[in-house]
Structure 1
C-alpha cells in the first residue's frame, strides 16, 4: 500500500484513491484519525496541518465531482472580484464572499462561460459578474461587484488589471435569464473609475440625493505630483475622500496618507477636503451626504 501522503493531490486525499491503492476501509479510517488528517467533506480529507480554507474545500469538491464548476461567491474569490460585505471586515470595507455558492455542471453552461482560474474550474469573469448582478439582493451589491471587475484594483494584496469590459457584461445580460431585466437597469450605474467598494456605495448614495461629482479625476500639485481624489465637485473645489479600514494598518501607511491629504489640499482646484470612513459610508450615508451638501453650500457663497 502507498503511504497516504503520496496519494494526496494538492494536499487533498479522496477516500476512493486510498481504497483503490489497497487500504482496507477500517484501517484507513483509523490511520486518518491517528495521523491528524482533517475531514473536508464526505469522501475527502486534507493533509495534517493544512488549513482547510475555501480554496481547499472547492478543490476537494471538484476532485469528487469532475464536472463541477465554481460560480457566484467562489468564482468571485478566484477572479479576485470584491463583493459587498459587512462593514466590520478587517481587511478593508469589503471582501469577496466565501460562500460555496451555486456550483454547476459544465453541461449546464456554455463552454465559452467556463475557464480555469488558479487551478480550479470556474465561470468566466464576465459570466460571474453577470450572475452576481442578476442574483444579488441589492443595487449596492450588484454595482460593487461590477465596478470591481471593470476596474484596475489591488485585491488580497495582488494588483490586477480590469477583468471584463462593459460590452461583455451587456452581452451576458442580454441573454434571457432570471433577474436579467433588473440587472440591465443597474448596469449603467457602474463606473470603472471606482477604487473600492466603499467608493462605489458613496457614489450611489450621493447620486440618490442629486450629488454627481467627478470620480477619480487627475489633479496636479504645485510640485507636479498627480493625485486622484475619490470625488471632486470641481465648480466649488470640494474634494471627498473615502477611507477603508486597511489604510492605516502601519505607522508608515498612516504617514503616507497624511502626506497625501496635505498634498491634495495644495492642488489649485481644491479648496476643501472632506474625509469619511468606509463605516460611515455603509452605516450612516445620510450623514455623509448632509456633510457634503453643507460644504457645497458653504463654498458656493
Structure 2
C-alpha cells in the first residue's frame, strides 16, 4: 500500500506532486520533491527528461528559465537559509557600480562572515548585506585605488545603473562609520574614501578624475552650466579658467539612433555655454587603457587655450 502511494505520486497522480507545482519562482529543490513522495532513483531522470536544468547539487531550474546569477543566488539561499549574497551580487542588488563587473561569485555563509544582524537586509527577494556594508566590504577588498573609489563614487552618487535611475544608496556618514570599524583593509580604505566625489557619473569618470589628479590636473566635476537659451548642462569636467570641457563617453552610450542624436544636440548646446571655449571627448576605453594619452591631450589643450587670446 505504501509503495503504491509513493510510486503513484512519482507518476504525478497525487495532487500537487508535479515538479512545476512544487517549485518556487521556477526553482525546485530536490528535498522538496523527495518530501512530496518522489523516489530518488526516478526524480533526476524525470527532471532531465522534462528539461529541468541543474543549478547546483540539490537545486533545479524550471525548463526554459534563464539560470542567471539571481536564480543561482536564490537556489543557494533556499538550500542554506543563513546564506547572504557575496560582494559582487550584493553590489548588483544595490546597483552599486564596479570598475570591472564580472559574473557575481556564489553566496557565502553569514556565520563565516560573522555578520551582525544590522548589516543584513532583504533586497529584491534575496538576503544580502546592507548598501553601506556592501560598499565598505568592496572598498576594503579592492585591489587598487581605482576599484575602491569607483565603488565609493557610485555608492554616494545619484545616477543610472543598469538602466535604472536611482538615488544614492549610501550616505557618506554611513560609509565612513562602516570603514571606522577595525577590519582588514580599513586604514587603506579610509584613505581611498577621502578621494570620493558624489558628482561622478560613471566608473570611467572616476578613473579619469583620479588620473588627471595624478597629473596635477584638477577640474570641476559636473558643474552646472547654462546655455544662452537657458538650458542647464553638466559637462563631466570643466577647467573653468581656460574654458576647457572634458567629456567621457561610456561603452554603451549610444544605444540607439535617438540617443546618438541627443548626444550631438547636447554637444552643440555645450559649445554655446559662455564658460566653454573648447571640448575634448574621450571614450571609456581610452580612459581605461590609455590614461596617459588622455591626460597629455588635456594638458596640451590647456596650454593652447592659455596661449590664445581670450
Separation in 1, partners of 2:191, 2:219? 21
Q: Deviation digits for residues 102-144 of structure 1, max 9, x if unmatched?
A: 6231582111100000000000000000000001111101111
- Whether the 8 Å contact between 1:151 and 1:161 is mirrored in structure 2 is yes
SS at structure 2 position matched to 1:246:
coil
2:178 pairs with 1:163? no
2:110 is matched with which residue? 105
For 1:290 and 1:101, locate their aligned partners in 2 and report how far apart those are by CA, in whole Å. Answer: 41
Q: Residue 44 of structure 1 contacts residue 60 of structure 1 at CA under 8 Å; is this kept in 2?
A: yes
Which structure exhibits the higher relative contact order, with contacts defined as CA atoms closer than 8 Å and separated by 6 or more residues? 1
1:146 alignment partner in structure 2: 152
**Which residue, out of 181, 202, 209, partners 1:196?**
202
CA contact (8 A) 2:59 2:75 kept: yes
Deviations 1:145-171 (A, max 9, x none): 111111111111111100001111110
* TM-score (normalizing by structure 1): 0.95
Equivalent residue for 1:271?
A: 277
Q: Which residue of 2 aligns with 1:251?
A: 257
2:87 corresponds, among 72, 78, 83, to 72
Greater Rg by CA = 2
> In structure 2, which of residues 169, 173, 189 is the aligned counterpart of residue 183 of structure 1?
189
Give the conservation status (yes or no) of the 8 Å contact 2:84–2:128: yes
CA contact (8 A) 2:76 2:107 kept: no
For 1:66 and 1:102, locate their aligned partners in 2 and report how far apart those are by CA, in whole Å.
Answer: 11
- 1:130 equivalenced with 2:146 (yes/no): no
- Number of residues of Structure 1 aligned to a counterpart in Structure 2: 291
Tell me which residue corresponds to 1:89.
none
Q: Is the 8 A contact 1:76 1:97 kept in 2?
A: no
The within-5 A match list for 1:215-294 is: 215-294=221-300
Whether contact under 8 Å (2:73, 2:107) holds in the other structure is no
Which segments of 5 or more consecutive residues in structure 1 lack a partner in the other structure?
86-95
Q: Is the 8 A contact 2:82 2:111 kept in 1?
A: yes
- Cα separation, partners in 2 of 1:139 and 1:102, compared to 1, 3 Å: farther
Query: Does the 8 Å contact 2:73/2:106 carry over to 1?
Result: no
